[in-house]
Chain A
Amino acid sequence: MGTINSALLLTKGALDADQAALSVVANNVANANTPGYTVEVPDWKQNQPINVDGIQVGDGVTETGSTSQRDRVLEERLDQQQQLASASSSRLTALNSIQALFTPDSGSASSTAGDIGSDITSFFDSFSSLESNPTDNALREQVLSSASTLAGDFSSAANSLNVQSASLDQDASGVVSQVNSLTSAIAQLNTQIQSTSPDADAGTLEDQRQQDLSQLSQLIGINQVTTENNGLSITTTSGQLLVSEGQNFQLTTGTVNGATDFFLGGADITSELATGGGQLGGYLTARDVDIPSALSALDQLAYGISTSVNAQNNSGTDYDGKAGTAANPLYIFNEPTAVAGSAANMTAIMTNPNQIAAAGAGDGTGDNSNAVAMYNLGQEPLGAPTTTFSLTQNLDSATPVNGTATGNVEVYDTLGKSYQATVTYTQQGANTWGYSVALPAAAFTSGVSTPVTGTITFSAAGNPIQIEPTGAANPETVGTTTGDVSSVPLSFTGLANGAADLNIGWNLLAANGTSTISQSAQASAQTGQSQNGFAGSQTPIDSYSNFVSTLGATVSEVQTENTAQNASVTQLQTQNNALSSVNLNDEAAAMSTLESSYQAASQVFTLLNTVMASALNLGDQTAVS
Chain B
Amino acid sequence: MRPANPELKELVVEASRALACLDAARLEELALSCQALTRARSSEDTGEREHLARQAREAKADMAVFARVLEATRSNLNVMKRLRDLRAGRLEYTERQARGGAGAGFPSTGGAKSRGRWGEAAEGGHGDH
Contact = CB atoms under 8 A, between A and B. Distances in A.
Contacts of B100: 55
Q: Which one of B15, B20, B55, B63 has the greatest number of beta carbons of chain A within 10 Å? A: B20
Contacts of B5: 5, 8-9, 12
B45 to A, nearest CB: 6
Interface stretch (A205-213, A319-327, A560-568): A560-568
Nearest to B22: A597
Interface stretch (A57-65, A103-111, A233-241): A57-65
B118 A593 contact: no
Interface stretch (A131-139, A309-317, A354-362, A607-615): A607-615
B88 to A, nearest CB: 9
A623 B67 contact: yes
A575 B80 contact: yes
A61 B86 contact: yes
A11 B11 contact: yes
Q: Which one of B16, B29, B128 has the greatest number of beta carbons of chain A within 10 Å? A: B16
A601 B19 contact: yes
B118 A63 contact: yes
Contacts of A604: 15, 27, 30-31, 34
Question: Interface size for chain A: under 10, 10 to 19, 20 to 34, or 35 or more residues?
Answer: 35 or more
A132 B18 CA distance: 63
B77 A560 contact: no
A59 B5 CA distance: 46
A63 B121 contact: yes
Q: Which one of A20, A55, A61, A565 has the greatest number of beta carbons of chain B within 10 Å? A: A61
Interface in B50-92: 51-53, 55-57, 59-77, 79-84, 86-87, 89, 91-92
A15 B14 contact: yes
Contacts of A10: 32-33, 36-37
Interface in A8-36: 8-17, 19-20, 22-23, 25-27, 29-30, 32-33
A124 to B, nearest CB: 32
Given A1-B48, A601-B15, A571 B72 contact: yes
Interface string B1-31: 0101111101111111111111110111111
Q: Is the interface of A mostly helix, strand, loop or mixed?
A: helix
Given A64-B86, A594-B76, A603-B31, A611 B122 contact: no
A29 B69 contact: yes
A598 B22 CA distance: 8
Nearest to B54: A615
Question: Interface size for chain B: under 10, 10 to 19, 20 to 34, or 35 or more residues?
Answer: 35 or more
A170 interface: no
B17 A607 contact: no
A312 to B, nearest CB: 41
A622 interface: yes
Contacts of B21: 20, 22-23, 26, 570, 574
A570 B65 contact: no
B34 to A, nearest CB: 4
B67 A594 contact: no
A15 B11 contact: yes
A610 B66 CA distance: 14
A461 interface: no
A607 B34 contact: yes
B111 to A, nearest CB: 11
A541 B24 CA distance: 49
Contact of A73 (B29, B71, B82, B128): B82
A56 to B, nearest CB: 8
Contact of B82 (A25, A27, A61, A574): A61
Given A66-B125, A612-B8, A612-B60, A55 B99 contact: yes
Contacts of A625: 67, 71
B75 to A, nearest CB: 7
Contacts of A334: none
A8 B6 contact: yes
A66 B126 CA distance: 9
A571 B121 CA distance: 28
B6 A11 contact: yes
A213 B48 CA distance: 55
A8 B51 CA distance: 12
A191 B47 CA distance: 72
Given A15-B2, A64-B92, A575-B76, A607 B104 contact: no
A53 B4 CA distance: 61
A41 interface: no
Contact of A560 (B33, B43, B61, B124): B61
Nearest to B42: A614
Interface in A66-101: 66, 69-70, 73-74, 77, 81
Contact of A568 (B56, B69, B125): B69
A570 B20 CA distance: 6
Given A7-B36, A57-B98, A64-B122, A597 B24 contact: yes
A63 B77 CA distance: 19
A7 B121 contact: no
A69 B125 contact: yes
Contact of A574 (B11, B22, B99): B22
A612 B56 contact: yes
Contacts of B97: 57-58
A3 interface: yes
A571 B26 contact: no
Contacts of A11: 6, 11, 30, 33-34, 36-37
A584 interface: yes
B17 A26 contact: yes
A273 B56 CA distance: 39
B107 A622 contact: no
A556 B63 CA distance: 12
A519 to B, nearest CB: 59
A617 interface: yes
Contacts of B4: 12
A52 interface: yes
Contact of A601 (B48, B63, B70): B70
A15 B12 contact: no
A526 B7 CA distance: 65
B74 to A, nearest CB: 6
A16 B39 CA distance: 22
Contact of B105 (A58, A66, A77): A58
Contacts of B40: 3-4, 6-7
A567 B116 CA distance: 39
A595 interface: yes
7 contacts: A7-B36, A10-B36, A560-B65, A563-B68, A568-B72, A593-B22, A609-B63
Given A598-B74, A598-B77, 18 more contacts: A15-B10, A52-B95, A52-B99, A62-B86, A63-B122, A560-B61, A565-B72, A568-B73, A574-B21, A604-B30, A604-B34, A605-B66, A608-B37, A611-B38, A612-B60, A615-B56, A617-B53, A623-B67
